[in-house]
Amino acid sequence: MQWMSNIGVVTGLALALAGVPAVAQAQAGKADTGIYSCTDAQGRRLTADRPIADCLDREQRVLGPTGVERRRVGPTLTEVERAALDVRRRQQFQAQQRDRDEARRLRALASRYPDKAAHDVERAEAVAQVEEVSTLARNRLDVLRAERKKLDTEMEFYAKDPMRAPPPLRRQLAQSDESLAEQGRFLAAQEQEKRRVHQRFDVELAQLRVLWGSGS
């Protein structure tokens, strides 16, 4: 029976020795834990109990419970990954900047137009300015048409053979065509501008109704 007792001792000793690496590993893992600290690309000071995702492209400090630095962890991203991360961060920053700009614009819009009456007044003024220019352009078009009528009357003498018309008259007719076409394009552009003015005020009004309704 003594040999069985010896086997038991040996077995117990073997199990104890086998457990040593596991205990050492656990203690080492525990000793390896700490507080990760870094400053990200936006200048924010970050801390966490594990590697910080926002600082994977830069060095991170690992601190002990007392705040003493234990070691430093270098960047874990490849050059391509860092470049892609920089692109994402820039896009995120730009999107945040656009959101801030839009919020400021809406606040300024609500301040400028406290109610629909104020907005309607400015719409009418903007349309009136465009209409004033259009009126001048239509008057100019009437003058050009009257001048063209006189030229057409002169050309009646050469109706059977227009090429017999004097060169100065033909040049005047060509210039008249160009002036009439240019004035027509200008008037069309003014009508388009008037539509743009209405569209702008329509978009603003839709936004303002939300802001007025929210009490902004």
- Which tokens is 192 given? 């388009």
Instruction: Supply the pTM of this predicted model.
Output: 0.56
**Which three-class secondary structure state does DSSP give residue 191?**
helix
pLDDT of residue 199: 97
- Which tokens is 52 given? 């910080």
**Alpha carbon of 129 to those of 90, 100, 122, 140, 160: distances in Å?**
42, 32, 11, 17, 47
Q: Map out the domains of the chain with their CATH numbers.
A: 115-214 (1.10.287)
* pLDDT confidence band for 216 (50 / 70 / 90): low
Comparing 82 with 23, the larger pLDDT belongs to 82
- Which tokens is 140 given? 């100019």
SS3 readout for 107-150: HHHHHHCCCHHHHHHHHHHHHHHHHHHHHHHHHHHHHHHHHHHH
Residue-wise pLDDT tens digits, 130-163 = 999 999 999 999 999 999 999 999 999 988 888 8
